[in-house]
Amino acid sequence: MDISEQLNSANVTVDEVEPFLEVAPALVQKRRSQGRIIFDRFLRNRVAIGGALFLFLLLIFCFFGPLFWRIDPTQNNVLSVSATLAPPSLAHPFGTDDVGRDTLARAMAGGRVSLSVGLLSMLLAIVFGIGIGSFAGFYGGAVDNVLMRFTDVILAVPLYLLLFVLSASFSDGTPKSVIFLIAIFGWTYAARLVRGEFLALKEREFVLASRTIGARDFRLMFRHMLPNAAGPIIVNATLLIGINIILESVLSYFGFGIKEPDASWGSMITVGQGIFDTDPWLVLVPAFLIFFTVLSFNLVGDGLRDALDPYMTER
Amino acid sequence: MGRYIIRRVLQAIPLLFFLTIGMFLLIHLLPGGPEAVLFNPRMTAAARANLRAQMGLDDPLFIQYFKWLTSALTFNFGYSFATSESVAAVIARHFPPTLELFGTALSLALVLAVTLGMIAAVRQGTMTDYGLTVLSYFGIAMPVFLLGLLAQDIFGVWLGWFPTSGTSSLGYTLTPFQALLDNLQHLFLPMMVLSIAFSAGWSRYMRSSMIEVVKQDYMRTARAKGVASTSLLLRHGLRNAVIPLITVVAIDFGAVAGGATITEGIFGWPGMGLLFIDSLDRRDYPVLLALLMIGAVFVIAFNLIADILYAVMDPRIRYS
């Protein structure tokens, strides 16, 4: 164990804290880990908790809603004219679509697809982007050149072209392949963002200081520098969720992922797109669900960013 | 810095060469060939074979590639399969509208994003901040086509203030000044739609990094010394908060050669986005390949510009 780790280790500080604890217990703060401090700060942020709560309700709506709203989301009804494109009513609170399927039931079923695709592909893309970006930014030179030119190549290939090419060979994409395909295109922004931040951060004094007391590269990168780059990463993650939900519907248009009659929020928008002037509900319902999802993710993300911010004063 | 830029430009040459091979293969992997789309179904087999030979589709792939590469090196990108025009002429016709739309829309979006992002950051946690947050997420969650349709309905049809499609009014004789005004009127709606779509996301990056900067000690010192708050934010704050924004804006500007497919489609704006979709549908290999390579040049160029701007904004950044 070298000196720096000894200084940081718990038993040194606990010995010093104990005596004060006996004299004036109220004045001594309990020692908390970095993660605990961040979590406590997050809990104190009422707006962020509101966002988290709303997200939780949204998940309950999508995953447990069908227990109470028992209409089959794939059940069409084309035999009666009044059953198709019906306006909102008691039987169908959000109306019905062009083949008479209940929009509320489809919103629940579609949410399960859209939320899981949006979230998981965001996570994959962000983790990969952070990996590429932090290595490129931290090591610079040849590492940076190779990784960033690779990023340039991915950015230069239009998504539509690749989808056209792939649609010929893969006709039945599973939801898993959709998540991967979206993530393959999603990581470039995160990588360049993290790299840009790291280029600036590695010249800062705190990095020099931690290096002086013997912090190794990985500790510097992921413990000291990454939390300082949290702002843009969280913004990017929030935006990615919205983008990915829409992208999923583009992919299903090319024959990947979920297909009719199964629903997703993105494909519900696609269906309603052509008849927006007469039946705006079909677009507005999924669009608002996406809006609320992205908004509450943003509130949670902002709370997380504030909690990670070392300049945030505790009150 | 000068040496770094030269090295990056030199690096771009093998990268672009590698990309020509990759893009060429991708295009030829597209399902169905140009003949499936372009040839007349009643054509005789001999005429069909003749046309294939004319287009050079009978050669082995690598011969086709070398033919393209050798003529591309002399800036001859071949002729469009669909219209027989030279590729350079097709692109020269579609690029100016896209440049006009993208240039104005992205510049406006940049001003909007910086202003709104800074206001939200300075007023963090107030109603102004939350109002701007909700507004920008509205812009993010709202599909672009919906924004475009609403803008057409409200400002084009209902209020009748702006034309809904095209780049100019047809069938009028206009003086150059009137023609410019007419063009700007056509530009307004697609430009607004595009800049709302971009500024919504960009302002979030601006807000997030500005929040961190306004808390720094040097900002307080500058304020204590009496620097006026606007110039404090613009001269001292922006410089240190702008790196994430530079990154994202450069990537989005790099997409200029790809055009704005959806916006151009809704407003009938004859730009690169429409050309790309059309050429993709028609399997117009020469046009497609030229479009992809121009796109790659822009991506590489704008990311290089971003890297230069990092060092300009934060002189501590060094590329050794």
**ipTM value of the model?**
0.88
Q: What's the pLDDT tens digit per position in B54-111?
A: 777 778 888 888 888 888 888 888 888 778 788 888 888 889 889 888 889 999 999 9
B211 lies within 8 A of chain A by CB: yes
Task: Give residue A171's pLDDT band: very low, low, confident or very high (50, 70, 90).
Answer: low
With 70 as the cut, is the pLDDT of residue A3 above it?
no
Q: What is the mean pLDDT of chain A?
A: 79
B43-61: pLDDT as tens digits: 777 877 887 787 777 788 8
SS3 letters for chain A?
CCHHHHHHCHHHHHHHHHHHHHHCHHHCCCCCCHHHHHHHHHHHCHHHHHHHHHHHHHHHHHHHHHHHCCCCCCCCCCCCHHHCCCCCCCCCCCCECCCCCEHHHHHHHHHHHHHHHHHHHHHHHHHHHHHHHHHHHHHCHHHHHHHHHHHHHHHHCCHHHHHHHHHHHCCCCCHHHHHHHHHHHHHHHHHHHHHHHHHHHCCCHHHHHHHHCCCCHHHHHHHHHHHHHHHHHHHHHHHHHHHHHHHHHHHHHCCCCCCCCCCCHHHHHHHHHCCCCCCCHHHHHHHHHHHHHHHHHHHHHHHHHHHHCCCCCCC
A165: nearest CB among B29, B143, B247: B29
**Closest residue to A200, CB basis, from B141, B254, B317:** B317
Which residue did the predictor score with more confidence, B120 or B226? B120
Q: Would the pLDDT of A173 be above 70?
A: no
- pLDDT 10s digits, A143-165: 998 999 999 999 988 888 888 88
Rounded mean pLDDT of B226-230? 78
Would you say the C-alpha torsion B266, B272, B273, B276 has a positive or negative sign? positive
Selecting from A160, A196, A294 the residue whose C-beta is nearest the C-beta of B310 gives A196
What sign has the CA pseudo-torsion A195, A196, A199, A204?
Answer: negative
- For tokens 């919504």, what's the residue? B200
Q: Which of B254, B175, B220 is nearest to B12 (CA)?
A: B254
pLDDT at A237: 92
- For the cut 50, the answer to whether the pLDDT of residue A302 exceeds it is yes
CB-CB neighbors (< 8 A) of A189 in chain B: 247-248, 251
Q: What is the pLDDT of residue A14?
A: 47
- The 8 Å CB, 24+ separation contacts for A244-248 are A244/A117, A244/A118, A244/A121, A244/A122, A244/A182, A244/A186, A245/A114, A245/A115, A245/A117, A245/A118, A245/A290, A245/A293, A246/A290, A246/B143, A247/A159, A247/A182, A247/A185, A248/A113, A248/A114, A248/A117, A248/A118, A248/A178, A248/A182
In A, minimum Cα distance to B310 occurs at A196
- The predicted pLDDT at position A123 comes to 94
pTM of the model: 0.85
pLDDT at A315: 39
For A263-301, the pLDDT digits (tens) are 888 888 877 777 777 777 788 888 888 888 888 888 888
Q: Is B109 exposed, middle or buried (0-12, 13-18, 19+ CB in 10 A)?
A: buried
Question: Which of A58, A150, A157, A315 to probe the B interface (max B CBs under 10 A)?
Answer: A157
CB-CB neighbors (< 8 A) of A311 in chain B? 212, 215-216
Q: Does B220 touch chain A (CB under 8 A)?
A: no
Q: pLDDT tens digits, residue range B265-312?
A: 888 888 888 888 888 888 888 888 899 999 999 999 999 999 999 988
Q: Mean pLDDT check: name the lowest of A215-229, B38-52, B216-230.
A: B38-52
Q: What number is the average pLDDT over the span B175-200?
A: 84
Position A128 confidence tier, pLDDT thresholds 50, 70, 90: very high
For residue A29, pLDDT beyond 70: no
Q: Report the C-alpha gap between B130 and A90 in whole angstroms.
A: 34
Look at B21-25, B140-144, B246-250 and tell me which has the smallest mean pLDDT.
B140-144
Position A25 confidence tier, pLDDT thresholds 50, 70, 90: low
> What residues contact residue B299 under an 8 Å CB cut-off, 6+ apart?
A152, A155, A156, B251, B254, B255
A140·B320 Cβ contact <8 A: yes
